[in-house]
Amino acid sequence: MRAIGQLALRSTNPTACAEFYASAFGFRTVAADDGGADLELSGFELSFRRGEQATRDGIQIGFKVETAGEVDAWAQELARRGFALVAPPSGDRWEGTRSFRLADPDGRQVAIFYDWPR
């Protein structure tokens, strides 16, 4: 295997989720109808299928960036564009990571993170 290529989740509002991930992170919608939406970013497919309950408990989607400074830059940019952060960036070299989180329209945790080389 080369990498994980797809994640499919249930959503109470696939259209709102598709708009969130497109607007916040640059995903491109490749297919959408009343039953769901398929998005793509750099070869990774994120799919939302309509359901009465969203797949949320225990789920966190994480986007890894190249530097700790990018974590801060993403946080500033998303906050400037009106996205509500769950908490500001935190962590340090001693913890081994720097990250922040926000929630998507279904309440799933979405993290932007950087891991310092070990």
Instruction: Note the pLDDT of residue 3.
Output: 75
- Residue 14 phi/psi, 5-degree rounding, is -60, -35
pLDDT in tens, 78-105: 999 999 999 899 997 677 799 999 999 9
Instruction: Note the pLDDT of residue 60.
Output: 87
What confidence category does residue 42 fall into, taking pLDDT thresholds of 50, 70 and 90?
A: very high
Q: Which helix (H) or strand (E) holds 74?
A: helix 68-80
- CATH number of domain containing 80: 3.10.180.10
pTM for the structure as a whole:
0.88
- The verdict on 15 and 49 lying in the same domain is yes
When divided into structural domains, the chain yields a total of 2
- The verdict on 36 and 69 lying in the same domain is no
- The verdict on 88 and 115 lying in the same domain is yes
- The verdict on 40 and 21 lying in the same domain is yes
Look at residue 8 and give its three-state secondary structure. Answer: strand
CA 65 from chain centre, in angstroms, equals: 12
Query: Residue written as tokens 């998303």?
Result: 78
Instruction: Note the pLDDT of residue 32.
Output: 95
- The verdict on 74 and 91 lying in the same domain is yes
- The verdict on 44 and 62 lying in the same domain is no
What is the pLDDT averaged over residues 13-23?
97
Q: Which residues pair with 101 in a beta bridge?
A: 87, 111
Would you state the structure tokens that stand for residue 73, as one six-digit string?
């830059």
- The verdict on 95 and 71 lying in the same domain is yes
The overall average pLDDT reported for the chain is: 92
Would you state the structure tokens that stand for residue 113, as one six-digit string?
């993170």
What's the distance, Cα to Cα, between the start and end of the chain in Å?
24
Q: In the predicted model, is pLDDT for residue 39 greater than 90?
A: yes
Whether 100 contacts 114, CB under 8 Å: no
- CATH number of domain containing 44: 3.30.720.120
- The verdict on 51 and 70 lying in the same domain is no
- The verdict on 65 and 23 lying in the same domain is no
Q: Which residue range is the domain that position 30 belongs to?
A: 1-55
- The verdict on 38 and 73 lying in the same domain is no
Residue 85 and residue 92: Cα distance in Å, rounded?
19
